Structure 1
Amino acid sequence: MSMGTFPDGDLAGFVRGASPGQKLRERLDDAVPEEFFTYPGDLTARDHQALTYARLRRAGRAVPPASELLDDPPALCALLERAAIADPALFHVMLLHYTLALGPIIRFGGADGGGAARRALESMDSFGTLLMTEVGRSNSHLSPRTVARHDPATGGFVLRTPDVRAAKFPTSTAHPALPKTACVYATLVHGGKERGVFVFAVPVRGPDGTVPPGVRVVPAPETTGLQVDYAAVLLEDLHVPYEAWLSDGARVEADGSFHDPAGSPAARLTRSMGIAPAVWRAVISASAAVTRASAGMLLAHSAGRSTLGRLAPRRPLTDYRNQQEAVLGALATAYALTAVAAHVKARRTSADAPAGGPATAWAPWSAVDRDLALLKAACTATAQETVSMCRVHSGAPGFAAVERLNAYRGLTHAYMNAGGDNELILYDTARAMADLDRYTPPEAEPGPPDGGDPDSPRVPLFLAREAERRMRDALAARVRAAGAAGADPFTAWNDNLALAARTATACADRVTLEICDAAAQAGPAPLQPVLRLHAVNWMARRAAGLLDQGVVPPGWLAEVDAARRRACDELAPRAGELAAAFELPPVITEPAAFLTGG
């Protein structure tokens, strides 16, 4: 898993990554200027949303064409990272526009696919959104009840939502004055048979926001979690032209016969979900970006702050181990997630080739790209935990003086479900592991290197591999035993979902540690101790599972705590350098700017 070399040979070069080039990066940063990092006061919810979309339009017209961005993951991720730290709502609508609206049109529609819908999105005359999940059933993306039927009279299709439980939700379509174009996931029914899930490019609000006949939009209550114009959408015998069908090579012949190169409805579902890798790369990159920003904010809050506790009055806050370990741990996690983001932006994924992942039971994501889906689940969970910790350790100012940490937490929390539910990804990953379906367990090793010393950079990887192998073996044995005792597959797995989640998490941990180990070896020398702290913190967080699997002995956690203290003592003098390499805009690290009129 070579990470290659990083430009400039320093930490800032590592954070920026190998591409895009300097000129393009400056262009992308200029597309999201510092004025986008705040909102004027006294805006209504709809005014706030309108300004977010106006900024999206301004950014979209300042950057390279969508087709170029979608073909250049580092460039698209750099733009989305900037949007994420500026404003999570802007990130969300930008991600929808590029990866989940234009992405399917360009990927599945061919050179001329999408027609007017594509032109409206590429010019930013309309904003892209997604109509995939349905409100009334879980796992609805596996078999949407929204149906598309070919209309021989017009040559087009008729899209229909059978009832309110099949309404598409959540969608970003509520604002009454904004143009919206949706990629609609629907089950194509032809010749009396379900032919699979296909995508249709459909205008759901006109240039002035008017809803066309056949579309019903029901605004959802306002929320502060991720401030977007959420709504449910029902399609009531909506007629769309043939070019709205993003057929990906499928076709309806003049004689009414249907042909699909995918070969089966199951394979068609996987192909239709093949746009997910672009989403996962962006979400992983954004998770790293907001974690960097949160760590920088926590350091700014903590540095130079004195305490009045009676144990040691006037003692600097960062002299206390809990605060010091929180600050340095957040910085270390930010660097680890940055390493993972660099890895996924550089790797070839099944988005670039026909899908060939393992069979899935709960969701289609692992069949598209198991490893990338798993890293998305791991990174969002880690980012959410770290951002939340930064908010708590920033005290009242972290909650009330600035909305940013709350917004970052809302973003990372939302994407634990959005873009593929994390738990379902873990379950399908564990199922593939148990079945050895395109999965090879780590090989057993005779014993821990360097005597199991927690200070050794080789020990965390040994522990991760050993825990993963043991958990996988235990899970497979339990499921086999349940089946042998007469349990049906649902019962066999349903009784072992907790272990399944831990097993897949162990796999994600091992992959992440391997990526970080490769980054530490290939990256600048100052990166090694900070990633070592991340590994030490990982050992502490996973101590329960490691002890449960017998990978480490009783009393071992005290050794890890001592190793963490030593790692923090080494890094503490460099905390400012570590944060400076994030190159955060000044507005990010000024949580009390309102006091000075900033």
Structure 2
Amino acid sequence: MTELADRAAGQTRTTAAAASAAAQAPSAAPAGAVHPAVDVAALGEQLLGRWADIRRHARALAARPELHKIEGLTHTEHRTRTFGQLKVLVENDAVHRAFPASVGGSDDHGGNVAGFQELVIADPSLQIKAGVQWGLFGSAVNHLGTGEHHTRWLPGIMSLDIPGCFAMTETGHGSDVASIATTATYDPAAGEFVVHTPYRAAWKDYIGNAAADGLAAVVFAQLVTRGVNHGVHAFYVDLRDPETREFLPGIGGEDDGVKGGLNGIDNGRLHFTNVRIPRTNLLNRYGDVAADGTYSSPIASPGRRFFTMLGTLVQGRVSLDGAAVTASKLALKTAIQYATERRQFSASSRTEEEVLLDYQRHQRRLFTRLATTYAASFASEQLLQKFDDVFSGRHDTDADRQDLETLAAALKPLSTWHALDTLQECREACGGAGFLIENRFASLRADLDVYATFEGDNTVLLQLVAKRLLADYAKEFRNVNFGVLARYVVGQATGAAIHRTGLRGVAQFVADSGSAQKAALAIRDEASQRALLTDRVQTMVAEVGSALKGAGRLPREQGAALFNSHQNELIEAAQAHAELLQWEAFTEALGKVADPGTRVVLTWLRDLFGLSLIEKNLSWYLMNGRLSMQRGRTVGRYINRLLAKIRPHALDLVDAFGYGPEHLRAEIATGAEKARQDEARDYVRAQRAGGQAPVEEKNLPARTAPRGQETPRG
């Protein structure tokens, strides 16, 4: 079973060894450690991960004012500025890492993505435009082309002499790449491919660098030779004259115009009318056409060939995953910093207003998202390491590539959705100040909005994950004998009977003896959290797998209808699986924390993440008999206890992200609010001390009105 299959299936069963290890894991402060403290420096180093030095270099670069987004520019001004910023990246050796040493690169695929993920700090438009140029256009030439292509084009791509486009998406087909309509038909008499968009829906759309800057493109089209369509392949196509910047004959396009965000990127549309390119412009690592039109490929299966070609481009999803985590960290650092300074309402004192972060609801809003951000950060690092292992060649089997694809498809949706949710919640938690562009929440929220749908629509990606989970589930029983299968069915029936009759809930209640304290101890235990999270994934996958059993033998229309009727459950199972991966990544990271105090605080944060997931899906756990009502009621109470424990360490936890004022660039995170609050408090105190404070009307002694002048009552 492959690595990811082990996670998908194996981790959904709590082994005795895992339970034993979990029982020994720290879940409370060690003896004598009444007030644990966070080692901010050590935690910050752990969060930086394997490519810490590259991240530091990228952050230093992102702190430079010439790379910062200037709010209020027109979209044409923003585009000009962003293109100029790409040259700064070239001058500072920030774009070469992933390319081959033969052309001046360093073959460092993980380090390359780690650096690009941090560019969102400066301006998301810069990060994405850099990603288009080097992570998509350049990467396609690098991974889909061969040595000749590398020598011919990569130096110019790296130096920005050849700004380029990644022309895959069409107006009529986004996520369904296999169905794109642009064709590249081989003409053996001329030794050329003829690239053509047969109708309007086949135009390449939303293409970065297409509206103004792109001189060339990697165009994805259906390769047709000798009357046979061999599926989607990639072709290098020159778009514009380098001198005039006008489209070459047969090529046209439009500007997509102003967007909801990322307006530093010149997205546009491209179309081709019988555009002829040399046969050697086919990026032919996985499929080639000889001079006589004969097609050949090292991969016999068309389906496998297609997914292999697209798999080489997974770094876009890996990059977005990490960039989204970075944006969440920026937002939480700003919002939590502000919440420790901003005061509002005098609930517990007649003279002092409350700090926002002391309100339980404020803690709920921010700390639960802080816990998720930590989980997403540790999972993102694991994804990046897996990506580097595959692309470096250290672990590059078909199984490894499938695992990487599935892991990226699982984590990218969660981190991008989480970033949007976190930015919005942090904006609201900062009130009107959060809505000001100077504090960046609204701007980042707008720029990251499209992260949820490009490099793969999040919902479609989760469906891919679900299909992988079903495939792994099916493998479990493909070759088992009747006796094993019968025992499994009996076990499933017994388990279902226990859950549905509520026997498990009764057993839990008896074990807890009605004690909220015992129930809390049970759900905060690492093994219990793992069991609840894994059981949900396993049950959901098994139920859908059973419902879809035999779908492949049905007529196509009926099989599709059956699959569609369970699509929602499939996607929910995939999301539960991805959340489990994040929880496991957090738990694994805990094992690497040396400082006892830091480990205690991070354990609280991990528990907050795990219990928040359980609380979010509490109805499922109750309806399926996985939790008793006693324990169900305890979940929310224990979360509130965790919030209080985490409160003294909140600033340390966001300081460990390692972002300074030059990265945040938010006025409310500069200490200005604290200065204002201190000034106000000093003023009021001086008034009181000097006897100059006016008396509040409500504090005046009650006066008795003269007879006959009583206040009339209605």
TM-score normalised per structure 1: 0.88
Contact 1:156 1:242 in 2 (8 A): yes
Change (3 A) 1:401 1:139: closer
Equivalent of residue 50 in structure 2, options 12, 18, 27? 18
- 2:239 corresponding residue in structure 1: 204
Confirm whether residue 119 of structure 1 aligns to residue 155 of structure 2.
yes
- 1:475 corresponding residue in structure 2: 544
Confirm whether residue 100 of structure 1 aligns to residue 136 of structure 2.
yes
- The code of the aligned residue for 1:371 comes to L
- Quote the Cα distance in structure 2 between the aligned partners of 1:268 and 1:371: 20
Query: What is the CA distance between 1:311 and its match in structure 2?
Result: 8.2
* Larger mean Cα displacement after TM superposition, 258-267 or 464-473: 258-267
Query: What is the CA distance between 1:222 and its match in structure 2?
Result: 0.6
Q: Secondary structure at the match of 1:67?
A: coil
- 1:463 corresponding residue in structure 2: 532
- Quote the Cα distance in structure 2 between the aligned partners of 1:435 and 1:41: 48
- Of structures 1 and 2, the one scoring higher in RCO (CA 8 A, sep 6+) is 2
Q: Secondary structure at the match of 1:247?
A: coil
CA deviations on 1:296-341 (whole Å, 9 max, x unpaired) are 1111221211113778771111121111222222322221111011
Contact 1:114 1:244 in 2 (8 A): no
- 2:84 corresponding residue in structure 1: 54
- 2:266 corresponding residue in structure 1: 229
- 1:294 corresponding residue in structure 2: 331
- 2:692 corresponding residue in structure 1: none
- Quote the Cα distance in structure 1 between the aligned partners of 2:553 and 2:141: 47
Please provide the CA RMSD for this pair: 3.3
Equivalent of residue 451 in structure 2, options 415, 426, 429? 415
Query: What is the CA distance between 1:367 and its match in structure 2?
Result: 8.7
Confirm whether residue 325 of structure 1 aligns to residue 361 of structure 2.
no
Contact 1:387 1:409 in 2 (8 A): yes
- Quote the Cα distance in structure 2 between the aligned partners of 1:337 and 1:502: 18
Equivalent of residue 99 in structure 2, options 63, 67, 71? 67
- 1:361 corresponding residue in structure 2: none
CA deviations on 1:344-393 (whole Å, 9 max, x unpaired) are 121256655777469xxxxxx97972223212222222232222222222
Consecutive unaligned residues of structure 1, counting only runs of 5 or more, are 359-364
Where in structure 2 are the equivalents of 1:351-362 lying within 5 Å?
352=393, 356=398
Change (3 A) 1:25 1:311: closer
- The code of the aligned residue for 1:574 comes to H
Query: What is the CA distance between 1:12 and its match in structure 2?
Result: 0.8
Contact 1:136 1:166 in 2 (8 A): yes
Confirm whether residue 383 of structure 1 aligns to residue 419 of structure 2.
yes
- 2:318 corresponding residue in structure 1: 281
Kindly name which structure, 1 or 2, has the bigger radius of gyration based on alpha carbons. 2
Equivalent of residue 182 in structure 1, options 205, 214, 217? 217
Equivalent of residue 384 in structure 2, options 345, 355, 375? 345
- Quote the Cα distance in structure 2 between the aligned partners of 1:315 and 1:80: 40
Contact 1:148 1:160 in 2 (8 A): yes
- Quote the Cα distance in structure 2 between the aligned partners of 1:186 and 1:242: 14
Confirm whether residue 491 of structure 1 aligns to residue 561 of structure 2.
yes
TM-score normalised per structure 2: 0.75
Query: What is the CA distance between 1:221 and its match in structure 2?
Result: 2.9
Confirm whether residue 372 of structure 1 aligns to residue 408 of structure 2.
yes
Change (3 A) 1:174 1:130: closer
* Larger mean Cα displacement after TM superposition, 508-517 or 160-169: 508-517
- 2:706 corresponding residue in structure 1: none
CA deviations on 1:495-535 (whole Å, 9 max, x unpaired) are 11111111111111222211111111113442333223222
CA deviations on 1:262-302 (whole Å, 9 max, x unpaired) are 21332221122022332222122112111111111111221
Change (3 A) 1:42 1:575: closer
- Quote the Cα distance in structure 2 between the aligned partners of 1:90 and 1:137: 26
Contact 1:36 1:87 in 2 (8 A): no
Contact 2:372 2:609 in 1 (8 A): yes
CA deviations on 1:175-194 (whole Å, 9 max, x unpaired) are 43x34432211110011010
- The code of the aligned residue for 2:73 comes to L
- 1:583 corresponding residue in structure 2: 658
Confirm whether residue 39 of structure 1 aligns to residue 69 of structure 2.
yes
Query: What is the CA distance between 1:84 and its match in structure 2?
Result: 1.1
Change (3 A) 1:311 1:529: closer
Query: What is the CA distance between 1:576 and its match in structure 2?
Result: 1.3
The structure with more helix, counted as a fraction of residues: 2
Query: What is the CA distance between 1:216 and its match in structure 2?
Result: 0.9
- 1:543 corresponding residue in structure 2: 618
CA deviations on 1:468-503 (whole Å, 9 max, x unpaired) are 111112112222388899981111011111111111
* Larger mean Cα displacement after TM superposition, 536-545 or 314-323: 536-545
- Quote the Cα distance in structure 2 between the aligned partners of 1:118 and 1:502: 42
- 1:592 corresponding residue in structure 2: 667
- Quote the Cα distance in structure 2 between the aligned partners of 1:318 and 1:469: 38
Confirm whether residue 562 of structure 1 aligns to residue 597 of structure 2.
no
- 2:690 corresponding residue in structure 1: none
Where in structure 2 are the equivalents of 1:190-269 lying within 5 Å?
190-207=225-242, 209-227=245-263, 228-269=265-306
- 2:342 corresponding residue in structure 1: 305
Query: What is the CA distance between 1:81 and its match in structure 2?
Result: 2.2
* Larger mean Cα displacement after TM superposition, 146-155 or 497-506: 146-155
Confirm whether residue 509 of structure 1 aligns to residue 546 of structure 2.
no
Contact 1:202 1:244 in 2 (8 A): yes
Query: What is the CA distance between 1:233 and its match in structure 2?
Result: 1.0
